[in-house]
A and B are shown apart, each in its own frame.
Chain A
Amino acid sequence: MTPFDRKVRAEIYRLFAEGLVSVDAEAIGRSGNLARQLVEQSLVRLEADHRIVLLPDTQRVMMAHPFSGVDTGYRAQINGRSWFANCAWDALAIVALLGDGTGRATGRDGVIDWSVVGGRISPDGLVHLLVPAAQFWDDIGFT
């Protein structure tokens, strides 16, 4: 990544962490005081490098793992605030990143409803991954 791409990537994550859902070139540029056209070019590079995923034909970030820019049904909840996640794994990651190990991870209309306290999840559950690790990025949306 170039230094500029690092800056853009960091701004994307900062905006998601703050709770913004629609993170696009305009928001990134405004927030980071970065030229929009340069941000747009950076987003293309970041997507090509699998650092983010853009909504097709847009300059809006759909995925900046573990954050999602769309409602996938998976959420992380911490102290009354909520973030979209890409999957159960990512919902737990948001709790780890922003909640110091305490929060809630939910998904699939209540099928997943985990309380996380000090990094311990309850109740017990099972996460089934369909795609082998080496193929995660073959179709990251499906993964």
Chain B
Amino acid sequence: MFDLSADWYAGRLTEDWTPPDARKAQAIFAAHGLSGEFWSLSG
């Protein structure tokens, strides 16, 4: 959970932060074992 939090919010404090698009967000979830319908951002 900590690693997910760290990855999800990485760079958030900087002025040039850009929100992750759905593809990148999905990749963050997948990198932490979060998959399946509950975690799907498509559709």
Chain A residues at the B interface, C-beta cutoff of 8 Å: 6-7, 9-10, 13-14, 17, 51, 65-66, 88-90, 92-93, 95-97, 101, 116, 119-121, 125, 127, 129, 132-134
Contacts and interface: CB of A to CB of B under 8 A. Distances in A.
A13 B9 CA distance: 12
Nearest to A129: B38
Interface of B: 1-6, 8-9, 12-17, 19, 25, 29, 37-43
Nearest to B13: A13
Given A92-B2, A92-B5, A101-B2, A134 B13 contact: no
Contact of A97 (B4, B9, B16, B42): B9
Contact of B12 (A97, A127, A129, A132): A97
Contacts of B29: 133
A6 B13 contact: no
A101 B6 contact: yes
Given A121-B1, A133-B29, A96 B19 contact: no
B40 A127 contact: no
30 contacts: A6-B16, A7-B15, A10-B14, A10-B17, A13-B13, A14-B13, A17-B13, A66-B12, A89-B4, A95-B2, A96-B2, A96-B5, A96-B9, A97-B12, A97-B13, A101-B2, A101-B6, A119-B2, A119-B3, A120-B2, A121-B1, A121-B2, A125-B1, A127-B1, A129-B38, A132-B37, A132-B39, A132-B40, A133-B29, A133-B39
